[in-house]
Amino acid sequence: MSCKSKFSFNTIANVISIASGVTLAGIIGVGSYVYINKDAIIENLKKDAIESVMSNMGGGAIGGALTGDVGLPASDSGGLGLPVPGMPF
């Protein structure tokens, strides 16, 4: 009983070798692109981070504090009727 297959060891080794070469070429290509364009990539990331922070500052805690609104309920809001410290009766 002989078991003959269509693929020889040499064919399988060649396919694995080609796949490995293509993978290595891709890794080298991406690494080279990042290395060459690293300054532009860093500047874009900095710009995006600054824009994100600045857009969140407009209506956030700092922006609300600058307008004088500290988020205390109005005196006629129907609360518990307890005096607020520092407020006249």
Q: How many CB atoms lie within 10 A of CB 64?
A: 13
Q: What was the pLDDT predicted at 86?
A: 73
For residue 68, give the 3-state DSSP assignment.
coil
Residue pair 19/27 in contact by the 8 Å Cβ criterion: no
In angstroms, the CA 47 to CA 45 distance is: 5
Whether the per-residue pLDDT at 73 is higher than 90: the answer is no
In angstroms, the CA 88 to CA 61 distance is: 27
> What are 10-66's pLDDT values in tens digits?
999 999 999 999 999 999 999 999 999 999 999 999 999 999 888 877 655 455 455
Q: 82: phi > 0 → left, psi -120 to 50 → alpha, else beta; which?
A: beta
pTM score: 0.47
Whether the per-residue pLDDT at 85 is higher than 90: the answer is no
